[in-house]
Amino acid sequence: MTFQSKEWERIFKNFEHVAPAELAKSMQRLARERAFLETIFNTLQEGVLVIDGQGIITYANAGGRRLLGIGQAEVGSLALGKVSPDLARSLTESSRDLEGESWSTREIEVSYPERRILRVYSSLFHNPEEFREEPYVALILTDITQEKAHTDALLEEEKLASVYMLAAGVAHEIGNPLNSLTIHLGLMERQLGKLKAEAARDNVLDSVHICQEEVKRLDGIVRHFLKALKPVVPDFQDVNLLQILADVLAVQKAEMEDLGVQVSLELGEPLPVISADPALIKQVFFNLLKNALEAMDHDGCLTLTARLDDCDVFIDIQDTGVGIEPESLAQLFTPYYTTKATGHGLGLVLAMRILRAHGGQLGVKSTPAKGTCVTLQLPQKHRRVKLLE
């Protein structure tokens, strides 16, 4: 990069008449000016890049080098297309729309050095010191991955909140006739029980029992729907995550033994106490372990792994079940979507809502015919922050 001033214009025009001492002082001032501007650019969180007509990265500040995953020594010789094909392709597309000093703005997703969503500002310019037709391109890159995820989460919460308000009213209207049906079916059952045993009576009684079961099923659907959409307000306490998991395993021990499921615990260093609602976290474990058991045949294996980093604690629940097809994996957190014949499709939705209310996340990885791994991520107590409504 070249920085000019009126002083340097004067020096260059009268170079042969400039005293060595004055030239040395000007060189020192130029070096300080360059260092100062470099410090400013490197302090920016945004990435600043300059790409020449051949696609070579001729300048990159610290933020830009971090986003591209390159070192200072590679600047000046490395082509943008080699480092980030996604960004280079976007640059080619946006350059068609640029005229003069106008700026182009777009959001793109890049996959290297890691998946990110970037907001890219780009502009064409010519270096006045060079006689070349190909313009340079100035890029300003802003990492909006977290911002995008937060916005998507807020939109989802708003959508679910509006659906909940509508569903609450509908459920109330449905609940009244369901209660009435339950009462009258019970009366019919008792009256039929007093009659003499006849084929016709038995047929009607069977129909009544079927109706009662269907009413129970409808009532269960309504209750599960409202439970999944109801706003989650945790009662934060100091809890031991592994103790909650142990309590849930103790309750499900008999079912696991009946299925012949082997449970393997892989615990590294002790997990720290976290701030969470024990009842809600227990509900998450119940839902996820139930899903894992239903996905496995007899003699399956359930592996539970606990780990942590500087900010979060993680619990991996790995089963050896049927796994999930890739096309189904993307829809797991869609309300009412389920791959099970008897499922409501709300268990994972509720688990995700609970973890988000704790400032955490839920991740799912699966391989068909091999199994599924569900990862709970919860913040350690020292970094948990209150989420805004």
| Nearest-angstrom CA–CA distance, 232 and 222 | 18
* More confidently predicted of 363 and 152: 363
Fold equal for 6-143 and 149-229: no
Tell me the sheet residues that pair with 266.
305
pLDDT for residue 195 is more than 60: yes
- The answer to whether 273 touches 239, Cβ cutoff 8 Å, is yes
Mean pLDDT of 31-60: 87
- Using alpha carbons only, give the angle 144, 60, 67 rounded to the nearest 5 degrees: 30
- Pick among 3.30.70.2740, 3.30.70.270, 2.60.40.420, 3.30.450.20: CATH of 6-143: 3.30.450.20
| Nearest-angstrom CA–CA distance, 243 and 229 | 28
pLDDT for residue 335 is more than 70: no
| Nearest-angstrom CA–CA distance, 107 and 99 | 20
- In which band, very low, low, confident or very high, does the pLDDT at 343 lie, cut at 50, 70 and 90? low
Mean pLDDT of 121-141: 79
Q: Which of 138, 144, 137, 72 is nearest to 108 (CA)?
A: 144
Domain range list for the chain: 6-143, 149-229, 237-383
Fold classification of 149-229 is Helix Hairpins (1.10.287)
237-383: CATH class: alpha beta
Mean pLDDT of 95-113: 69
- The H or E element that residue 108 is part of is strand 103-110
SS3 assignment, position 343: coil
Q: What pLDDT was estimated at residue 214?
A: 78
- The answer to whether 51 touches 91, Cβ cutoff 8 Å, is yes
Cα 316 to Cα 301, 304, 308, 375: the distances in Å are 13, 6, 11, 4
Record the pTM.
Answer: 0.50
